[in-house]
Amino acid sequence: MDKIHNNHNNHNNHNNHNNHKQNNNINFISFLSCVFSRLAYVTMPNFFQTYIRIMREIPEKIFNKIGDLNNNELSHIFDDNYLFNGLKPHEYDFLHLKLPQKINKLMKSNVTQTNNIFSNQLKEPSVKVIEIVDSNSVKVFVIADKRLNSIFVIFRGTESYKAITSWANLIRDIPNYPCKSNNPKVGFLSGILKLEVEIIHTLYYSICHLSNNFLDMDMDKRKKQKIFTTGHSLGGGLATIFSYLWLGLKYENADNISNHICDKIVCVSLASPKVLNEYLVNNDFYHLIKEDKILYRRLVTNGDIITLQPFYMRHPINENNSVYCSSINVPNKKKINYNKKLICNNEKDEKSFNKHSLLPHGNYMYIDFYGVLDVKTEREIFQSEYKDSIAQLFIAYTSKNNKTEENVYKLAFFYMNDVRYGLSRNDYIPHRSTYIFQIDKKEDKYMNKHLFDYMIENMISYKDYLIQRTDFLKLGIKEQYISHGRPILNIKKRLTRRMKPKSFLCATIKNIKKIVKTRKNKS
């Protein structure tokens, strides 16, 4: 290993691009997480196409190294010297490869626009994507990539600067203690936990669907599928909470379908607000990180005001898991300076935080988020005309038949209350004033493997949907299973009185003593 370090240092003397590799704080996985977090702002099916284009800019030898990493070595995921052992530093240096410039250009290109989505289509049989998006502005992508033998769970962040001030409202986002019967001290930020919980079952079955039906299921326990989660801003908070909830879901293994996924999760959170209470970061979350169950990094651009909020919640406190980076934008402008040296340390720059603002929120490791935060975007999924929440499942992949390849885009819409309340949904009259407190009422606990598979099997093609929706809107059709021109899948006929809903919300809290070896409190 010393030889590797020496080679690395010698190379830095000849190449200024590698000056930023001072330690493991700046590493390829953190950079890739920034890229994926930015990609989450792109809509389907352009997300699928842009992912393919981005990954084609990355050398195959980098894929191979990440894919070859076994589960016992996963604790080295943030150590480029270990991860890319055998490669020369310039072969995986994202600045030397000019990946930020190439990727930022891709993000701003016409690829991310909705016009000509069916022309000049790239094909990639090694990738399959499921998108979950709902009328409450939750959006998450689940990517399965055979080249990396990995699943990526990517949460979209806040859509605009205006929306940031909305969800960060300290009056609304109060602490919530959802599992009082298991541990009344464990608390989360209510507004973000609510968004997470309302799609947690749908997300679990999406992950397991890709694990069991697409990725390789190696029987070697050391080569199980890796799972990563990331997100920017609101997405970073959602990723942090998901990393905690996922370990409980993996342990309980509902429907016995998560066997092929590693029992560790890599979480890289960007520009996240504080979403955990003090007890949780000092106890359960602390030990999960300490024992490498959660391989955690929190990235902060110095001066980013969002990362300081809300004052009564906490970030994870484990040593060296927070990385504070210098701002690399042109001074007082929303523009990236690629020639500016990136400096990252484990202690924040107090001078920068004395001048905190929203400007640093838009640049992370040379990836430009300014474009998406400035654009006025229309909500993708609207509630029904009767104020019923609606969710969309979208699946994208390249089908290979008789030596020909064809991209497949399919989607389905469903009423969220159907998977919240089952057949009793008509008997439940929600009170909006109590929404924020009744987290358990939001959980999609009636979603199960049988129902999820039914949704996948009954999706319609994206092309047919566009034609159908246009016709419905022209005719002004408003029916129980047609909303804003969107056909809603009737899943109530798949629900039965015998179905017993299962809660995932408290799975980690309930099983924490079995998931970690020790829970001695840290003061």
Whether the per-residue pLDDT at 77 is higher than 60: the answer is yes
Alpha helices in 375-517 (DSSP H): 416-421, 439-442, 449-457, 462-475, 507-515
Question: What gap in Å lies between CA 26 and CA 20, rounded to an integer?
Answer: 7
Shared-domain flag, residues 370 and 466: no
Is the same domain home to 358 and 408? Answer: no
Looking at residue 433, its pLDDT comes to: 41
What pLDDT does residue 163 have? 56
The pLDDT of residue 17 is above 80: no
The rounded percent of the chain whose pLDDT value lies above 70 is: 85
Residue 376's pLDDT is 60
Q: Do residues 135 and 392 make contact, with C-beta atoms less than 8 angstroms apart?
A: no
Distance between CA atoms of 237 and 190, rounded to whole angstroms? 11
Note whether 164 and 241 are same-domain residues.
Answer: yes
- Between 515 and 1, whose confidence is greater? 515
Task: Check residue 152 and give its pLDDT.
Answer: 99
**What pLDDT was estimated at residue 231?**
98
Q: Are 32 and 166 in the same domain?
A: yes
Shared domain check, 395 and 311: no
Of residues 499 and 378, more confidence is placed in: 499
pLDDT at 385: 82
Residue 260 in this model has a pLDDT that exceeds 50: yes
Is residue 298 located within the same domain as residue 151? yes
Q: Please, which pLDDT band fits residue 103 given cuts at 50, 70 and 90?
A: very high
pLDDT at 132 over 60: yes
Minimal CA–CA distance to 155: which of 266, 235, 247? 235
pLDDT confidence of residue 425: 62
Q: Is residue 521 part of a domain?
A: no
Residue-number span of the structural domain to which 472 is assigned = 390-503
Question: What percentage of the chain reaches a pLDDT higher than 90?
Answer: 66
493 with 362, same domain?
no
Contact between 296 and 198 under an 8 Å Cβ cutoff? The reply is no
Residue 81 belongs to a domain? yes
Q: Please tell me the distance from the alpha carbon of residue 241 to that of residue 292, in angstroms, as a whole number.
A: 16
Q: Does residue 345 surpass a pLDDT of 90?
A: yes
The reply to whether 319 and 409 lie within a common domain is: no
Distance (Å, rounded) from C-alpha 475 to C-alpha 463?
Answer: 19
**Is the pLDDT score of 515 beyond 50?**
yes
Query: Rounded to the nearest 5 degrees, what angle is found at the Cα of 489, between the Cα atoms of 484 and 494?
Result: 155
User: Which residue would you say has higher pLDDT here, 177 or 385?
Assistant: 177
In a domain, 124, yes or no: yes
Read off the pLDDT of each residue in 140-149 and give the average, rounded to a whole number.
Answer: 97
In a shared domain, residues 400 and 369:
no
The domain boundary, picked from 345, 374, 403, lies at 374
Q: Are residues 262 and 301 in the same domain?
A: yes
Q: Look at residue 510 and tell me if it is in a domain.
A: no
For residue 502 the two structure tokens come to 């299962």
Is residue 222 in some structural domain?
yes
pLDDT grade for 499, boundaries at 50, 70 and 90: confident
Does residue 461 fall inside a structural domain?
yes
- Token representation of residue 428: 């439940």
Average pLDDT (485-502) is 85
**Entry pTM:** 0.91
Same domain (yes/no): 433, 370: no
Give the total number of structural domains in the chain.
Answer: 2
413-465 per-position pLDDT tens digit: 999 999 998 877 654 444 444 444 578 788 999 999 999 999 999 999 999 99
Question: Do residues 323 and 29 make contact, with C-beta atoms less than 8 angstroms apart?
Answer: no
For residue 357, tell me if it sits in a domain: yes
- Per-residue pLDDT band at 384 (split at 50, 70, 90): confident
Of the listed ranges 112-126, 143-157, 204-218, 460-474, the one predicted with least confidence: 112-126
- What pLDDT, on a 0 to 100 scale, did the predictor assign at position 182? 93
Mean pLDDT of the residues in the chain: 86
Q: What share of the chain is helix, strand, coil (3-state, %, to 5)?
A: 40, 20, 40
pLDDT band of 93, cuts 50, 70, 90: very high
Most confident of 4-18, 19-33, 363-377, 393-407: 393-407
Give the CATH number for residue 250: 3.40.50.1820
Residue 6: pLDDT above 50? Answer: no
Structure confidence at residue 347 (pLDDT): 86
Q: How confident is the model over 36-71, as pLDDT tens digits?
A: 999 999 999 999 999 999 999 999 999 999 999 999
**Among 297, 319, 289, 196, which residue's Cα sits nearest to residue 515?**
289
Q: Give the Å distances, CA to CA, from 331 to 334, 336, 353.
A: 8, 9, 15
Q: What is the pLDDT of residue 428?
A: 45
What pLDDT was estimated at residue 229?
99
Distance CA 297, CA 315 (A): 11
186, 509 contact by CB (below 8 A):
yes
Same domain for 214 and 115: yes
pLDDT tens per residue across span 266-313: 999 999 999 999 999 999 999 999 999 999 999 999 999 999 989 899
Specify the pLDDT at position 23.
57
User: Residue 218 above 90 pLDDT?
Assistant: no
Give me the pLDDT at residue 89, please: 95
Q: How confident is the model at residue 377 (pLDDT cuts 50, 70, 90)?
A: low
Of the listed ranges 198-212, 230-244, 325-339, the least confidently predicted one is: 325-339
* CB distance 323 to 345 below 8 Å: yes
Q: Is residue 381 part of a domain?
A: no
